Amino acid sequence: MASINQIPRPPAALPNFCNMGVSLRILVIVNGMSLVAAAVKAETLKAAWQELMALSVLVQPLLLLSLLLLCAGRRLFARMSYSGGIAAVVGLELVLVTLVHGLVRDLMAADGAFQLQRNWLFTLLVTAALLGYFNLRSRALSPALSEARLQALQARIRPHFLFNSINAVLSLIRSDPRRAETALEDMADLFRVLMADNRQLVRLEQEVALCRQYLGLEQLRLGDRLRVAWRIDKMPHDALIPPLVLQPLLENAVYHGIEPAVEPGEISVDIYSSRNQVHLLLRNPYRSEGRHHGGNKMALSNIRERLALHFDAEASLTTKVSDNSYQVHIVIPYTRVEAK
């Protein structure tokens, strides 16, 4: 198994400036740095408050204009290289601070309080701090690094699934060769996706198709013990999600909820959109005496990290145990493929 240090890092990219979580982080960091700047310059608490108010006259309109223009130019930034995007963001901020400085100076006649050179320097420091923070955060939540940690869990599950699937296919070769051939094709598709570089978002319908192939393979060996209820009539087929979000949850549902039981069990999958959000709701039988619930937590942690990387605070993953069932509820923003 490759170590974490051997796994290539994903290419650096600017954050999605239209994302609510990104905007909130920018607001908090900029206002926090303004507070620190005011406290460092002033000698008393009253003077610090006055300095903060004076600085806010410049910072707040600049901050709001920046958020609006950065969001409006998101597609343009996405087409640039990372270094080109940084240069564009820095250039935009310097132009905005110059314009806002001129407006504030004319309205308040306060040349001494709002020196343009000082404002340029403060803007450069804040912009550099924000871009550095988002770059570090992106690397910390990188799917490549997360997948390296997840492999320790999947090294136990995937061979178990692979060997059982092969045995199921072998039992079909003589009795139903066409179904055996289809099963082998599904296995090839599944493992092709598992081995691919899964950093980019994919269409929701692709993830669902992959999950159907996976469950079809599991049904070969589990037969009537595995029942699946798909409720996807209201599913937004064009929605974008991180790959391998639903499939590992279904793998856990089979491994923890269906395999340990002798009687049949049902896995239900509900996917629908509401208020510009996509909801993925999965339920499976739950047994408190199960032996491998720690693996569940590792997979959920990995998925949470990847959701945070792509959608920040706009995505969530919650779990609930009730009435002998285990429920996972994922909520992500309804993102579509952008027209070029």
pLDDT of residue 242: 87
182 vs 83, 138, 244, CA distance in Å?
47, 39, 21
pLDDT of residue 289: 65
pLDDT value at 4 more than 90? no
State the average pLDDT over residues 223-232: 92
- Alpha helix locations (H) across the chain? 20-41, 45-72, 74-79, 82-108, 116-140, 143-172, 177-195, 204-222, 246-252, 293-311
Counting residues of the chain whose pLDDT is more than 70, the rounded percentage is 81
pTM of the model: 0.69
pLDDT value at 114 more than 60? no
pLDDT value at 212 more than 70? yes
Q: Could you report the per-residue pLDDT of 47-102, keeping only the tens digit for each? A: 888 888 878 888 888 899 999 999 888 888 888 888 888 999 999 999 998 888 88
Q: Could you report the per-residue pLDDT of 15-57, keeping only the tens digit for each? A: 888 888 888 899 999 988 888 888 888 778 888 888 888 788 8
Q: Could you report the per-residue pLDDT of 118-165, keeping only the tens digit for each? A: 888 888 999 999 999 988 887 776 654 445 444 444 444 455 566 767
In whole angstroms, what is the distance from residue 36 CA to residue 3 CA?
41
Residue with tokens 């132009």: 95
Paired residues of 226 in beta bridges? 265
